[in-house]
Chain A
């Protein structure tokens, strides 16, 4: 894309260097002369911000590592010491912690940009996949880093996530122990997590280099999704479709980065802990679980997908199903270039896909919200009701029930109840595998009462209360519970999870074949400049 190098060494030293290690030439070709489409909008500036974030995280991280102690008894205190005693430790620690959130904020915008403008399509498939690799590494690094302060949320987050791997059949337990270096999250775990948390950012830096290399080979996309013309195809005297990276893109990226840094600084200086969880200021305690365990905000959508699968799918139990769905949610991004069958890159010219894309963005936000809520929380008010039936007065008779075997128990109990057809009420209490007691009440007045509640717990409380109110007047109760369909956070997560996969696995493949693309405007489809019209 960049074509032949136009770098000309000016001084004697640079000429000498250029013959031996053309590193200035590489920099010049990549970041100065590199042709960048002239119609890029501000969504294209997040790549530069992400590079900045990576540098910030590595620099602050290396400094933090000079003061941090990866030991279960000292880690928490060493982070507190950093915040309070180390000169400017508070600043550097806050930048690192807030930096993680900013990194993910920028990467999500960068990814949505890629989705909207079809940046994953030929010839940029590998570029996209390398980006997905970076994202997965970022998630791993973020998770490992969150464990290090050794607060309650650090400890229990690590416990829940390693337990997820334990859900894998057969090998799960071994992998779990291998990862944590023991039978629980403990000293070996924090030590290796620290080591890996230090390592992974450099791996990310390496993959970023490949990402940029792939970008410069294929060239940047642009909001129209139409390829820029090669320099040789542009008539003489016409300015062409691209401008040099410096100063055009450099200045634009810098301006956007300044705005981004303002947001960054607002968090660092005014609300450094707003994005974290209060429970992480309690030292880790393996004997006590916090009331709720939630990951950092940037992982909430995947946490919601994990918890959305609360039902068994054939031989896959709900726990493993959730784990698989969560990994599939990231995995599906890797094969996206081959799922989207449309030849149109930019959604500007895909009127239907564009609508579904906007819904997709909303769904991702909803998933994020669901991930932070209690999954059982009822969103649409429902009424649980129960009908209590009892007999006042009458005589109670007891008789034993016997079944020939465990399998025949249900039948025996039903037969016994049927035999007391004259009774006002009967009940069978099982006392062992094949034995039980039948109690029947003859005579007396049958009473009923219906109680209601907004949740199962409220209903059970109401039932208990009603039983207490009747008290000794009734020998026993028959309770019929009516459980309505409830729309909970889990239900919402399930709908959102369904759409997430539906979008990638059904909509994108089908739409590409069915959709009629929008018309490309004349300004793009036809030459409009004076020289071009004259030439035509």
Chain B
């Protein structure tokens, strides 16, 4: 009797063994995964970093034709008070030969989809090529921004016109919170 039982437990009953083996292995794999994950996830942006995700800007101090750089999420953002000529140049070129076609009105849209105001252009100040900060007007043939690193040239709407950058300057998500105040992010 005892012998027969031993044979049964260790011999032919392989499916039960396999099941226990696979089950134990699976639990171990889940355990390893659950242990490793905190050590990977700790490198993601922390709560305080994420909390700095919005920036309020008072526009009343920005003169016509002036541009300020504000920090949003540790990155610079251009807030440009465009002149009439700059606005008309941007609108005129809506149908020019663009690498990344987009109309000026589309680029002014606020975060909630409301139309923006043509005199206020809010753009992320990093070249879509490799992330340098383009300079304001200086060097640009289109009166917009020029990236000194690899020569990408953007127009007054921040659209890429010449150079290696693949896309237009990214629009920063913003919202008018008052007649002369915006919130970025």
- A residues with a Cβ closer than 8 A to B are 156, 159-160, 163-164, 177-179, 181-186, 188, 192, 286-293, 307, 310, 317-319, 375-376, 409, 430-433, 457, 460
B130 and A182 contacting across the interface, CB-CB below 8 Å: no
Q: Tell me if B's interface is mostly helix, strand, loop or mixed.
A: loop
Whole-angstrom CA separation of A177 from B46 in the bound complex: 11
Instruction: Choose one: B43, B149, B164; the contact of A293 (CB below 8 Å).
Output: B149
Q: Chain A residues with Cβ under 8 A from B40's Cβ?
A: 178
User: Are B69 and A287 within 8 A (Cβ)?
Assistant: yes
Report the bound CA distance from A182 to B164 in whole Å.
Answer: 26
In the bound complex, residues from chain B placing their C-beta under 8 Å from that of A156 are 132
Interface residues on B, range: 20 to 34
Q: Measured between C-beta atoms, what is the minimum distance from A211 to chain B in Å?
A: 27
Provide the residues of chain B in CB contact with A188, threshold 8 Å: 45-46, 49
Task: Report B72 CB to chain A, min CB distance, Å.
Answer: 9
Closest CB-CB distance, A383 to chain B, in whole Å? 20
B131 at the interface (CB under 8 A from A): yes
B127's nearest neighbour on chain A, judged by CB, is: A289
B74 interface residue per 8 A CB criterion: yes
Residues of B within 8 A of A433 (CB): 95
Asked if B166 and A289 sit within 8 Å, CB to CB, the answer is no
A291 with B148: CB separation less than 8 A: yes
Q: Determine how close the nearest CB of chain A comes to the CB of B142; give it in whole angstroms.
A: 11
Report if B44 contacts A (CB, 8 A).
yes
**A192-B43, A376-B150, A433-B95 known; A182+B74 contact, CB < 8 A:** yes
Residues of B with C-beta under 8 A to A186: 49, 74
* Contact A183–B73 (Cβ < 8 Å): yes
Q: How far is the CB of B136 from chain A (nearest CB, A)?
A: 11
28 contacts across the A-B interface (CB closer than 8 A)? A156-B132, A160-B132, A163-B130, A181-B43, A182-B45, A182-B73, A183-B45, A183-B73, A185-B74, A188-B45, A188-B49, A286-B75, A289-B149, A291-B149, A292-B149, A293-B132, A293-B149, A310-B164, A317-B166, A318-B166, A375-B150, A375-B164, A376-B150, A409-B95, A431-B95, A432-B94, A457-B141, A460-B141
Q: How far is the CA of A177 from the CA of B148 in the complex (A)?
A: 25
The answer on a CB contact under 8 Å between B45 and A177 is yes
* Complex CA–CA separation, A319 to B46 (angstroms): 29
Q: Does B129 contact A (CB under 8 A)?
A: yes
List residues of chain A with CB within 8 A of the CB of B76: 286-287
Residues of A within 8 A of B150 (CB): 307, 375-376
CA distance A377 to B174 in the complex (A): 39
CB pair B130 A181 closer than 8 Å:
no
CB-defined contacts of A307 to chain B, threshold 8 Å: 150
Identify B74's interface contact among A183, A319, A457, CB under 8 A: A183
A156-B132, A159-B132 are known contacts; what are 20 more A-B pairs with Cβ within 8 Å? A160-B131, A163-B130, A178-B43, A178-B44, A179-B43, A181-B43, A182-B49, A286-B74, A286-B133, A287-B71, A287-B76, A288-B133, A289-B147, A289-B148, A292-B148, A293-B132, A317-B166, A318-B166, A319-B166, A457-B141
Contact with A along B34-49 (1 / 0, CB 8 A): 0000001001111001
B111–chain A nearest beta-carbon distance, Å: 17
Say whether B131 contacts A181, CB under 8 Å.
Answer: no
Most buried by A among B69, B131, B150, B166: B131
Of residues 17 through 56 on chain B, the ones whose CB sits less than 8 Å from some CB of chain A are 40, 43-46, 49, 53
Residues 68 to 104 of chain B near chain A (Cβ within 8 Å)? 69, 71, 73-76, 92, 94-95
| B116 at interface by CB-CB < 8 Å | no
Chain B residues closer than 8 Å to A457, beta-carbon distance? 141
How far apart are B41's CB and chain A's nearest CB, in angstroms? 9
CB neighbours of B132 from chain A (8 A): 156, 159-160, 289, 293
Docked CA distance A163–B71 (Å): 18
Which residue of B49, B73, B130 is within 8 Å of A160 (Cβ)?
B130
| Chain B residues with CB below 8 A from A310, complex form | 164
B71 to chain A, nearest CB (A): 8
Contacts of B95 in A (CB 8 A): 409, 430-433
Interface pairs A-B: 8 shortest CB-CB: A184-B74, A183-B73, A289-B132, A163-B131, A430-B95, A289-B133, A182-B49, A184-B75
Measured CA separation A412–B180 after assembly (Å): 43
Q: Are A159 and B45 in contact (CB under 8 A)?
A: no
Residue of A nearest to B96 (CB): A430
Minimal beta-carbon separation of A330 from chain B (angstroms): 19
Q: Quote the shortest CB–CB distance from B73 to chain A (angstroms).
A: 4
